[in-house]
Amino acid sequence: MFSLLHKFWTASIKRQLILGIALVHAVLMSIFVFDLVDRQREFLLEQNAIEAQSLAKTLAANGTSWLIANDTLGIEEVINSQKNFSGLEYAMFIDLEGKVLGYTDRSQVNRYINDPVSLKLLKAPAENITLLDNNVLIDVAAPILINSKQIGWARVGISRKGITENLMYVTQSGALYTFLAITVGIIFAWFMGRGLTSGLRQLSSITHGIADGDRNINCDLKRHDELGELSEDFNKMLSIIKKRESELSKNLSLLDALLDSVPDVVFYKDLNGLYMGCNSACEAIMGTTEKDIIGKTDYDFFPKELAEFFREKDRQMLASGRPQHNEEYVDHPDGRRILLHTVKTPFYTSNNELIGLIGIARDITIFREQEEQLRSTRKMDALGKLTGGIAHDYNNLLGVILGYSELLEQKLIDQPALKDYVEKIIAAGQRGSTLTNKLLTFSKNKPAKISCININDLINRSYQMLEKTLTASIEIKLNLDSNLWNTKLDADDFDNALLNICINAMHAMNNSGKLLISTSNITLDKESSISLSVSSGDYVMASISDSGTGIDKETITKIFDPFFSTKGEFGTGLGLSQVYGFIKRCNGGINVDSELDNGTTFHLYFPKDSSKYSTELTKKNHNSTPILTQEKTILIVDDEDALGRFMQELISNAGFKTLLASSGSEAINILHNKSINLLLTDIIMPKMDGHQLATIAKEIQPDIKILFTSGYSNNLLTEDSNFDYEIIEKPINSSELIARLNKLLTE
């Protein structure tokens, strides 16, 4: 058989030459075309990059003055002037915070860049930077400088479609020239002599070896003619192939090392849900190696219900074509149950072909536990504020009960039976005083209770509590929609959120001003819902407005960050972050409108709930807040009439001359008209607190002695007071009060 084939092959040199020359020409021309296209590509891409850099610099130079002037029309004119640039996909101006100031697509103006490529600009140095450089597009940004100070970026994207078409034309021309060369070679083969057969066979064998993947093969023709040169070309080509395959293998190894160095779980699947690869963190979660994971689905590693959840989320993400965030609990191989936050995004090839998805999952178990701890801590703080705010009222009531009981006890010395009753009343009052002190340090942790709620009821229920918690000089007004929709939330969380915002408003108003709480029904359209990161639809809106100092724009961007506080050591920085977390748990939104010196308004949005409103709210009984007043010698000042009259009777019975005032202004009138030796004043009073009254009293009568009474001072007394004073705590013990008065008046 071999002899027959050999005879057939050697029977005609023309056949040998035709086949051999055709093969040689095909190979050589292929190399030539490949090299030509490659060089042409490099040249065109280099020229394109230079043009993009130049255009970005020109755009930066032309737009500088318009950006400084903040002239929107000027910026748009500069952008439009570049639209005729060949291949221009987009041009834009971006400030240093990522805000789009100008764009060829005006709908993008005033939005913030958020894609990974664009976000590189926020940390990039002030120099020309190439953000994207591939076969489809080149994206270049140039810094906009004024007096060597960067004020933004000029960015352009230029399509490389023209380059691709040019290279296609060159390739087609190369193919045509190859065909012509082969044709010419065949013609010349008719005129070639013998002696070439052995070389052609060897070249053919080498070619087949390369095609079969043999990279150790080598072409070694001992010739000095064209076949010898062709042999060398084959060896060069093989060297290039070896080098590029080695580089590819190295890059793949680096990619694997990069993925394995990421602490988060990284995986990628095809369109059918089959795993294509993963990193070592994913292997740890799966409890097996990448080799055993590839080609399998979630059903092979997770319970059916969880696997179906993953698969459904995969389909939703692939259908939308946008990244998707999910949270799910999974069982770790070491026995722990962990919470993963997973981000999935479509997986495209360089040709923009969708081949699957990429997922990155992070263990947020500890973070979520810490978040719950912070929420619990904030609730404790809010409860402490509430109990402290009402302690004064309780102590006033107890003061009246205990005070008059002591007076009655003194008058029942000769009636033991009745005196015994009074002693029991006194004992009960003292127990109440002890309970009040315990209440100040009491707080209870409890799970969230989600139910259908009308927030008007919650606001009305909290109204008196807010009056007590905030200073009396803050005027609170309600404007509640009588036809308000219901919503689903945790009533206690809402109370805490409302209290947090109102306390911040109190600080912003320096304990004096107006606070408006209003509610209304609102329907959010698509544009409004996007700005709030919620779905469009019907919402219940609660607004809290104050007349305080307002918030600057820079601070507004940080107020919901955990541990961010403008109160220094007096703030934890957790209040508004807890409010934000509560709003998000309700699937709602929150925004802030504020200007310096023009107050602040918080808008809280809660989704409308159409289920039956069955929640029964327990009304909280809040007595009137204790109002701060002042006193004189012995001028008794207390806005609690019963307590003031008790102290007047007690002190009068002790032989002192007394005057009684129920407010700071009334006390000042007395101070201007009568000589007072001692001012006995409550600290917490409306309009004018006890410390303010004492300060004015010292100015009117410098020798006056000051004795404060208080069940809860709310930090109104400061260490930098310019006068001496003493404090007696409520409920007041009669004997102690008389003793303190005697001591002060005899000093």
63-89: pLDDT as tens digits: 888 888 888 888 888 888 888 888 888
- In a domain, residue 570? The reply is yes
Spatial separation of the C-alpha atoms in residues 676 and 669, rounded to whole Å: 12
Mean pLDDT in residue range 581-597: 85
Contact 358, 347 (CB under 8 A): yes
**Residue finishing a domain among 332, 363, 394:** 363
The more confident residue out of 611 and 556 is 556
- The region of weakest confidence among 105-119, 301-315, 333-347, 463-477 is 463-477
Phi-psi region of 70 (alpha: psi -120 to 50; beta: other; left: phi over 0): left
**Residue 616 clears pLDDT 50, i.e. is over it:** no
Distances (CA, A) of 639 to 325, 405, 643, 683: 57, 21, 8, 10
> How much is the average pLDDT of 591-612?
87
Average pLDDT score over residue span 299-306: 89
d(CA 681, CA 632): 8
Query: What three-state secondary structure class fits 461?
Result: helix
CA angle 71, 74, 79 (to 5 degrees): 125
Two tokens at 474?
């803050």
Above 60 in pLDDT, residue 572? no
* Domain-terminating residue out of 298, 331, 363: 363
Report residue 31's pLDDT band, with 50, 70 and 90 as the boundaries: confident
Cβ-defined contacts of 40-44 (< 8 Å, 24+): 40/166, 40/167, 40/170, 41/163, 41/167, 44/163, 44/166, 44/167
Helical spans, DSSP H, in 632-719: 641-653, 664-673, 690-700
Residue 629: CB atoms within 10 A of its CB come to: 32
pTM: 0.34
Average confidence (pLDDT) over 340-351: 90
- Shared domain check, 675 and 576: no
Q: What is 319-357 written as a DSSP string?
A: HHTS-EEEEEEEE-TTS-EEEEEEEEEEEE-TT--EEEE
Encode pLDDT of 496-547 as tens digits: 889 888 888 888 888 678 999 999 999 998 877 877 778 889 999 999 999 9
How many structural domains does the chain have? 4
Tell me which DSSP letter residue 558 carries.
T
* Mean pLDDT rounded to a whole number for the chain: 80
- Coil, strand or helix at 542: strand
| Percent of the chain residues past pLDDT 90, beyond the cut | 18
In a shared domain, residues 470 and 588? yes
pLDDT in tens, 432-484: 776 665 444 333 333 346 788 899 999 998 887 787 777 677 888 999 999 99
Q: Given this model, what pLDDT does residue 402 score?
A: 78
CATH number at residue 306: 3.30.450.20
Same domain for 551 and 476, yes or no, is: yes
Domain membership of residue 211 (yes or no) is: no
- For the cut 50, the answer to whether the pLDDT of residue 620 exceeds it is no
Q: Rounded CA gap, 648 and 640, in Å?
A: 12
CA dist 207 and 204 (Å) reads 5
Question: 3-class secondary structure for 29-94?
Answer: HHHHHHHHHHHHHHHHHHHHHHHHHHHHHHHHHHHHHHHHHCCHHHHHHHHHCCCCCCCEEEEEEE
Full residue range of the structural domain in which residue 695 is found: 635-746
Tokens of 340: 């993963």
Distance of alpha carbon 80 from alpha carbon 60, whole angstroms: 14
Which is more confident, 24 or 674?
A: 674
Angle subtended at Cα 689 by Cα 685 and Cα 694, rounded to the nearest 5 degrees? 130
Q: What is the mean pLDDT of residues 144-168?
A: 87
Peptide bond into 731 cis (omega under 30): yes
pLDDT at 613 over 60: no
Four-CA torsion 657, 662, 663, 666, nearest 10 degrees: -60
Q: Report the CATH number that the domain containing residue 727 is assigned in CATH.
A: 3.40.50.2300
Give 14's pLDDT tier (boundaries 50, 70, 90).
Answer: low
Domain final residue pick, 316, 345, 363: 363
CB 681 within 8 A of CB 694: yes
Q: Which pair of structure tokens corresponds to residue 524?
A: 């959010």
* Closest to 22 in 3D by CA, of 282, 202, 245, 200: 200
Distance CA 460, CA 619 (A): 9
Same domain, 561 and 649: no
Structure tokens at 37: 């296209």
Q: How far apart are CA 702 and CA 105, in angstroms?
A: 73
Q: How many CB atoms lie within 10 A of CB 550?
A: 17
| 66 belongs to a structural domain | yes
The reply to whether 139 and 284 lie within a common domain is no
Is residue 637 within a helix (H) or strand (E), and if so which, with residue range? Answer: strand 635-637
pLDDT digits over 277-290, tens only? 999 888 888 888 88
Residue 523 lies in a domain: yes
Q: Are residues 130 and 180 in the same domain?
A: yes
Residues 329 and 288 in one domain: yes
Confidence band of 681 (pLDDT split at 50, 70, 90): very high
Greater model confidence, 429 or 257: 257
Cα end-to-end span (Å), the chain: 136
Mean pLDDT of 627-653: 76
The alpha carbon torsion through 496, 502, 505, 509 (nearest 10 deg) reads -140
Say if residues 161 and 135 touch (Cβ distance below 8 Å).
no
Mean pLDDT across 237-250: 83
Claim to verify: residue 31 and residue 145 sit in the same structural domain: yes
- Please check whether residue 613 is in contact with residue 607, taking contact to mean a CB–CB distance below 8 angstroms: no
Among 237-251, 311-325, 376-390, which stretch is predicted with the lowest mean pLDDT?
Answer: 376-390
Closest CA to 579 of 555, 554, 606: 606
Instruction: Specify whether 663 is located in the same domain as 566.
Output: no
Phi, psi torsion values for 59, nearest 5 degrees: -60, -40
Based on the domain organization, do 277 and 185 belong to the same domain? Answer: no
CB 630 within 8 Å of CB 637:
yes
Q: Is residue 709 part of a domain?
A: yes
Q: Are 307 and 260 in contact (CB under 8 A)?
A: no
Other C-beta atoms lying within 10 Å of the C-beta of residue 354? 12
Q: What is the pLDDT of residue 22?
A: 74
Confidence tier at 628 by pLDDT (50, 70, 90):
very low
Give the residue-averaged pLDDT of 136-150. Answer: 89
For residue 624, what pLDDT is reported? 34
Would you state the pLDDT for residue 457? 92
Residues of the chain with pLDDT > 70: what percent? 84
Q: Is residue 408 part of a domain?
A: no
pLDDT tens digits for range 389-401: 666 677 777 777 8
**Residue pair 514/474 in contact by the 8 Å Cβ criterion:** yes
Query: So what's the pLDDT on residue 17?
Result: 67
Query: 385 in a domain, yes or no?
Result: no
Question: What is the Rg, in whole angstroms, of the alpha carbon atoms belonging to the chain?
Answer: 42
Residues linked to residue 586 through DSSP beta bridges, in sequence order: none
Q: Is 492 helix (H, G, I), strand (E, B) or coil?
A: helix
Continuous H helices in 441-480: 455-469
- Rank 294-298, 328-332, 473-477, 502-506 by mean pLDDT and report only the highest: 294-298
Considering the domain architecture, whether residues 579 and 677 belong to the same structural domain is answered as: no
Do 166 and 276 fall within a single domain? no
Q: What is the pLDDT of residue 678?
A: 93
Neighbouring-strand partners of residue 543 = 518, 603
Q: Residue 631: is its pLDDT beyond 70?
A: no
Q: How confident is the model at residue 344 (pLDDT cuts 50, 70, 90)?
A: very high
CATH code for the domain of 471 = 3.30.565.10
Asked if residue 669 is part of any domain, the answer here is: yes
Query: Is the pLDDT assigned to residue 612 strictly greater than 70?
Result: no
